[in-house]
Structure 1
Amino acid sequence: MNTKNLMLMAILVAVGAALYLVIPGYGEGMKPDFMLTMMFIGIFLFPDVRSVFLLGATTGVLSGIFTSFPGGFLPNIIDKFITAFIIFAIIVLLKKLSRKLVVSTAIACIGTILSGTIFLSAAIYVIGANVPFGLLFVTVVLPAVAMNGAVFFIIYPIITNLLKRTSFKTALSN
């Protein structure tokens, strides 16, 4: 694994964490997880098992630390880890098609829905949280899908254009 790639992945996760901290919550203090968006960008750029493992693990731990959801540390780790590998599988299956902005944005939106579903399920079944799945899905996950999709649609082309001018070895440079 290349040190420059590790540094770029760390920057993506750090930007996601900073966005997560500065974005105000809505509803009962819930907020969209922009670390998830940055994790998806990292997976698109570095679609290999080791990178996906690192992105999923670090994003999960940081999301767990910063979560405002009671008892949300473990569900965040479970959610990010599983979501990272499912999105990785989708990207590998759709190889050339996933390079198109509309398709990659759709994959990020699917990943956000998947992440929210896994998080709420883990919160209910693993830690025994007494929360209404349907209500939280509609009021928190669906708005997060819209916000993460819009942010991904704006940020991903900027990052890819910047990386084309550098010596980083990403999936886009192949």
Structure 2
Amino acid sequence: MRTKDLAQAALLVAIAMILRTLTPPILLGMKPDVTLAMMFIILIIKKDFKLGFLVALATGIFTALTTTFPGGQVANIVDKLLTFLIVFNLIPLFAKFLTNKLLAAVTTAIGTMISGTLFLTVASLIVALPAPFTILFTTVVLPAAVVNTVTAVVIFSVVSFAMDVEYGSSREKEAL
């Protein structure tokens, strides 16, 4: 892991935290987690397990500090780390078939649903959920997945341009 990669990831996590504070809640104080979208973008661009782990840990800690959900402190940290482990292993599978921009969208949509499921599960083990799991999933997690996906595509386009990351899969590069 290079210092440059660590600095870039730290900057992107900081931007995500600023966006998180500006995002309004959807239901019962819960809101889309823009930091997840940024975590997935960092994983796609950097492809580094150690850096990804540090980003997941930092994101989990920062979101734990800013959550308004009862029991959300522990749930945020656990969910970010488990989501990282799952998504990090899914990205290479998806990358075989998708361009990087589409990879960001698919990864964020699926990753947000995984994260939301893990968050609600861990929170339900710690405290009683303020509403049934299925209601929270359909009214908070699914809309958050949509918002995060759109956000991820926009941010990925900006970040990849700024970092001079090539668009497209290796198959497309070979075709050129």
TM-score normalised according to structure 2 size: 0.88
Q: 1:122 deviation in Å?
A: 0.5
CA distance in 2, matches of 1:20, 1:130: 22
Task: Indicate yes or no: 2:153 matched with 1:135.
Answer: no
The aligned counterpart of 1:33 is: 33
Instruction: Name 2:105's counterpart in structure 1.
Output: 105
Q: Is the 8 A contact 2:40 2:104 kept in 1?
A: no
Q: 1:103, 1:142 → 2: CA distance? A: 18
Instruction: Flag the 1:33–1:135 CA change in 2: closer, same or farther, 3 A.
Output: same
- SS of equivalent to 2:157: helix
- Determine the structure 1 residue equivalent to 2:78: 78
- In 2, Cα distance between the equivalents of 1:85 and 1:99? 22
Alignment partner of 1:15 is 2:15: yes
Q: CA deviation at 1:98?
A: 4.5
RMSD (CA atoms): 1.4
1:122 is matched with: 122
Percent identity, aligned pairs only? 38
Separation (CA, whole Å) in 2 of partners of 1:29 and 1:93: 35
Deviation at 1:99, TM superposition (A): 3.7
Give per-residue Cα distances to partners, 1:128-171, cap 9 Å, x unaligned. 32441111001110110110011011110111111118xxxxxx
Structure-1-length-normalised TM-score:
0.89
Report the count of equivalent residues: 164
2:44 paired with 1:50: no
For structure 2, which runs of at least 5 residues remain unmatched after alignment? 166-176
Aligned partners of 1:98, 1:10: CA distance in 2, in Å? 27
Instruction: Extract structure 1 runs of 4+ deviating beyond 4 A.
Output: none
- Over 3 Å counting, the alpha-carbon distance change for 1:100 and 1:147 in structure 2 is same
**Aligned twin of 1:68:** 68
Distance 1:40 1:57 in 2: 13
